[in-house]
Amino acid sequence: MEILDQISQALQKGKAKDVKEMVQAALDQGIAAQTILVDGLLSGMGVVGVKFKNNEVYVPDVLIAARAMKAGTEILRPQLAADGVKATGKIILGTVKGDLHDIGKNLVGMMMEGKGLEVVDLGVDVPAEKFIDAAIEHNANVVCCSALLTTTMGEMKNVVEVAKAKGVREKLTIMVGGAPVNDAFANSIGADIYTPDAASAAEAAVAKVLEWNAQA
Amino acid sequence: MDVIDFGANLGNDNFDFSEAIKAADTFRRSTGVTCRVVDSVGETVYISADDKSDVAVCNLTAKYFYCGSDDCGNNETMANICLNSHLYGCYQSERFGGKYVFFCPLGLTNWASPIVCDSTVEGAFLAGPVNMVEPDEFFTDDFLSKYGLTHTAVKEIEQCIKTVPFVMPSKVNFYSELLYYIAKAVSDDTFQIIDERKAKGEQQSEIAEQIKFLKSFSPNPEYEPYPMEKEQELLELIETGDKHGSQRVLNEILGQIFFASGGSFEVIRSRVLELVVLLSRAAIKGGADSQQIFGLNYTYLGRINSFKNIEELTYWLSGIMARFTDQVFNLTDVKHVDVIYRAVDYVRKNYDRRITLEETAANVYLSPAYFSRIFKEEIGDNFNLYVNKIRIDAAKKLLLNEKIPLVDISTMVGFEGQSYFSKVFKKMTGVTPGKFREARGKIRGDAGARRLK
């Protein structure tokens, strides 16, 4: 679809205002929010990501593209919420300490909100303690950690350890995700679930929240 | 020592910011971008700005947000929010390789680079604000409304933002590089800790990429065979002295090891151990001195148990590989392969006594004149200079060992007299042996530079 292509192009150039307008226009045309997100916004961000790895663009370019992405997703947010199955429960979400990657995490958060979950987003560079403290404070049963660097994967293990130390491990489902993470890793650190992308993360989270709610 | 103290140095009466201040002015005058020097708690020591208008938007925002009572929604004044944002930027620049580009609370672009002295972050350079999008593209989202500003205040701030210079993202990238080099120049050579972090971060990124790549092919890493062909490729690259190629392939192998091990540190450590042994064999095959390599192995392997995490381990392995590769001659380019190899071997075994060109030439069955010529052609240095280089390298290592008396070192490395040794040492390193020992091997960059005159 042409407008989705245009959204992707505008995002790549960091043209936040254009992205906002075009996303709204796409919604008005009747295109599903999910489609606009994936084929318009994410596709554009993907191109930026590849160019960044190839050193064709640099951090500042990524910053303005991310800003345009944020602007676009803000418009989509209410629509995404309206389109989904409702589940009620709280999720603690964050990127672990030492890691600043947040685009993927933000996406996961949005997908989860789209499914009716209440997401407590702790941001990036979050120490293990903070994850667990937030879970306790908010009475949340599901904690989701993201890491994109192999070095920061070790922090995920800390999250599990801190949960044990604070005696709340059995009350929590710990989910992990990120490019270098996989099932074997999740198992080796004692996490509960590994999901490879935002969509499956949101689904798994919903399933778990419903489970916890049923137990309560 | 990889510990940097940020924020603990309150007061900062000790650190001399005058160089930094001059550098900030130079930066601003050449780029047109406002540049601050901040101390280790983020307080501004100096702002280099054309006139008040360069920081007008910052002052204006602070003015509107300042509230002196506890009734402020977040119990924080805007001035604090800005300060925290600056401090955060500086802190991140120290953690992530010496430069960091970020948006301030208003959404304007800034970048920071740390100033390091004696392994402590004494402060940082902070450049900006600039706008990376056209003024009419710019909007402050709902940030301003979050703080309950009046409509007029918001309008006034937005107007002021129009005066902030527009700089394209690509240029911002290079401005941040420039600031990095400036910060490095103003710091002492303990700044290398920052560079090491950057190198470590880059290596880990490459490994993560490799893992991601592997994941796309096979979801079951336990069944992945060990990459034997890659190993072979690596060994060949080391044997030919190819530093870049070998680093690239090493990261690929590490990625696969990591992926297959499920992140288990013990498994990875064992694999790394095996790799060290393999690498050393390759280096020797490539022509490196076997005694040196085995000696290095002994030291290296002793350290393998001291690492606590994968990042340290893999970075260390890269360092070893680079050292080994350096030891290898690129023999395919050398015409008088065997002669040079034997001559160098002879020098390495005998530098600690009086060794002459004649004697070495005789050792390889050539006339001194002819030998001298081809040695210079192939090695690039004349014979005596080469011998002295080897000796000074050895001397440096001995100097770092306090137990060895200074007076003994010159003879231990083959010099006949103390004064000649000192002279050569100073010529090659820029400082006397005594000073080198005192500084524990840490020589300030400009010391050497001054001597060049």
Residue A58: list chain B partners with CB under 8 A: 169-170, 173
Give strand pairing partners of B121: B116
Nearest CA to B48 out of B34, B61, B60 is that of B34
The pLDDT assigned to B70 comes to 40
- Nearest chain B residue to A153 by CA distance is B263
pLDDT of residue A148: 79
Kindly report the CA angle at A18 between A14 and A24, in degrees rounded to 5? 125
Residues A180, B258: C-beta atoms closer than 8 Å: yes
Q: Is the pLDDT assigned to residue A152 strictly greater than 90?
A: no
Which chain A residues are closer than 8 Å to B204 by Cβ? 149-151
Average pLDDT in the B265-281 region?
82
Contact (CB<8Å) A188/B137: no
Weakest-pLDDT range from B210-219, B329-338, B421-430: B329-338
Block residue for tokens 């706008």:
B131
Give chain A positions within 8 Å (CB) of B97.
Answer: none
Q: Please compute, for residue B402, the number of CA atoms within 13 A of its CA located in the half-sphere on the CB side.
A: 3
| The CATH homologous superfamily of the domain defined by A2-83 | Methionine synthase domain (1.10.1240.10)
**Residues A172-209 pLDDT 10s:** 999 999 877 888 888 888 999 999 888 889 889 988 88
Task: Please give the pLDDT value at position B74.
Answer: 46
Domain B331-452 has CATH 1.10.10.60: yes
Instruction: Categorize the per-residue pLDDT at B315 as very low, low, confident or very high, splitting at 50, 70 and 90.
Output: confident
Domain edges within chain B: 18-187, 196-327, 331-452
- In this structure, whether the domain defined by B18-187 belongs to CATH 1.10.150 is answered with no
CB contact under 8 A, B96 and A100: yes
Contact B169 A148 (CB under 8 A): no
Among B133, B208, B262, the residue with its CB nearest the CB of A184 is B262
pLDDT the model gives residue B1 = 30
Name the least confident of A24-28, A44-48, B205-209, B250-254. Answer: B205-209
Average confidence score pLDDT of chain A = 86
Q: Are B134 and B166 in contact (CB under 8 A)?
A: yes
Interface probe for B, chosen from A11, A150, A195 (most Cβ of B below 10 Å), is A150
Contact A32, A65 (CB under 8 A): no
Q: What is the 3-state secondary structure (H, E, C) of A42-104?
A: HHHHHHHHHHHHCCCCCHHHHHHHHHHHHHHHHHHHHHHHHHCCCCCCEEEEEEECCCCCCHH
Look at residue B175 in the predicted model and tell me its pLDDT: 96
Secondary structure (DSSP) of B55-85: GHHHHHHHHHH---STTSTTS--HHHHHHHH
pLDDT of residue B136: 67
Contacts with B, A 35-54, CB within 8 Å: 53
Question: Cα B174 to the chain's mean position, in Å?
Answer: 18
Residue located via tokens 């994936």: A38
Between B362 and A150, the more confident residue is: B362
Please, which pLDDT band fits residue B147 given cuts at 50, 70 and 90?
Answer: low
Give me the residue spans of the domains in chain A: 2-83, 90-215
Residues in chain B: 453
> Residues near A59 by Cβ (< 8 Å), separated by ≥ 6?
A52, B101, B173, B176
- Residues of chain B in contact with residue A185, where contact means CB-CB under 8 angstroms, are 262-263
Kindly state the DSSP code that residue B220 receives in the 8-state scheme. -
Domain A90-215 has CATH 3.40.50.720: no
The beta-strand segments (E) located in B21-74 are 35-39, 44-48
Residue B212 has its nearest CB partner, among A58, A59, A180, at A180
Number of Cα atoms under 13 Å in the Cβ half of residue B71:
4
pLDDT per residue as tens digits for the range B74-131: 445 556 677 778 888 888 888 888 999 998 877 889 999 999 998 888 999 999 899 9
Q: Which residues contact B238 (CB under 8 A, 6 or more apart)?
A: B246, B279, B282, B283, B286, B321, B324, B325, B328
Residues of A in contact with B310 (CB under 8 A): 150-151, 154
Q: Which phi and psi (to 5°) does residue A125 adopt?
A: 60, 40
**Distance between CA B314 and CA B265 in Å, rounded?**
11
Q: Cβ separation of B137 and A17 shorter than 8 Å?
A: yes
Query: Sign of the C-alpha dihedral, residues B250, B256, B262, B268?
Result: negative
- Show residues of chain A in contact with B137, CB under 8 Å: 15-17
**Model confidence at A52, in pLDDT bands (50, 70, 90)?**
confident
How high is the ipTM of this complex?
0.75
pLDDT tens figures, A74-103: 888 777 766 655 667 899 999 998 777 777
Q: Does the structure show a pLDDT above 60 at B180?
A: yes
Report the range out of B2-11, B126-135, B196-205 with the highest average pLDDT: B126-135
pLDDT at B332: 45
**What 8-state DSSP symbol labels residue B165?**
P
As a whole-number percent, the residues of chain B with pLDDT over 70 amount to 78
pTM as predicted:
0.65
CA distance B110 to B381: 47
Question: Distance (Å, rounded) from C-alpha B88 to C-alpha B86?
Answer: 5
Tell me the two tokens of residue A140.
């949340």
Q: For residue A186, what are the contacts with CB-CB under 8 A and spacing of at least 6?
A: A176, A192, A193, A194
Res B344: pLDDT: 86
Mean of per-residue pLDDT scores for chain B: 79
pLDDT, one tens digit per residue, over B246-262 is 888 888 888 888 877 76
A63 in contact with chain B, both atoms CB, cutoff 8 A: yes
DSSP state of A38: I
